[in-house]
Amino acid sequence: MLELRLVQGSLLKKVLESIKDLVNDANFDCSATGFSLQAMDSSHVALVALLLRSEGFEHYRCDRNISMGMNLGNMAKMLKCAGNDDIITLKADDGSDTVTFMFESPTQDKIADFEMRLMDIDSEHLGIPEAEYHAILIMPSAEFARICKDLSSIGDTVVISVTKEGVKFSTRGDIGTANVVCRQNTTVDKPEEATVIEMPEPVSLTFALRYLNSFTKATPLSNTVTISLSSEIPVVVEYKIAEMGYIRFYLAPKIEE
Amino acid sequence: AREQLTMRQFYCFR
> What confidence score (pLDDT) does residue A182 get?
95
Q: How confident is the model at residue B1 (pLDDT cuts 50, 70, 90)?
A: confident
The answer to whether B6 contacts A256, with C-beta atoms less than 8 Å apart, is no
Nearest by CB: A126 against B1, B3, B14: B14
Residue A181, number of CB atoms within 10 A of its CB? 12
Between A105 and B14, where is the model more confident? A105
> Chain-wide mean pLDDT for chain A?
95
The residues in B 1-14 lying below 8 A from A, measured between CB atoms, are 1-14
**CA of B3 vs chain A CAs: smallest distance (Å):** 5
Residues 6+ positions from A152 with CB-CB distance below 8 Å? A171, A209, A210, A213
* Three-state DSSP state, B3: strand
**What average pLDDT does the segment A188-210 reach?**
91
pLDDT digits (tens, 9 = 90+) for A220-257: 999 999 999 999 899 999 999 988 999 999 999 999 87
d(CA A160, CA A147): 11
Q: What is the DSSP letter of B13?
A: B
What is the sign of the dihedral through the CA atoms of A68, A74, A79 and A81?
Answer: negative
| CA A127/CA A118 separation, integer angstroms | 25
Quote the minimal CA–CA distance from A124 to chain B in Å. Answer: 6
* Chain B residues with CB-CB distance to A233 below 8 A: 10
Å between B8 CA and nearest CA of chain A:
7
* Res A84 pLDDT > 80: yes
The rounded distance, in Å, linking the Cα atoms of A230 and A233 is: 6
What is the predicted pLDDT for the residue at A24? 96
Q: What confidence tens digit (pLDDT) does each residue in A27-49 have?
A: 999 999 999 999 999 999 999 99
The total of other beta-carbon atoms located within 10 Å of residue A211's CB is 22
Helix, strand, coil proportions of chain B in percent (round to 5)?
20, 30, 50
d(CA A182, CA A163) in angstroms, rounded, equals 11
Count CA atoms closer than 13 A to A94's CA, side-chain side: 6
Nearest-by-CA chain A residue for B12: A126
CA distance A203 to chain B (A): 18
Count of alpha carbons within 13 Å of A148, Cβ hemisphere only?
A: 22
* Residue A160 in contact with partner chain B when CB distance is under 8 A: no
Residues of B in contact with A157 (CB under 8 A): 2
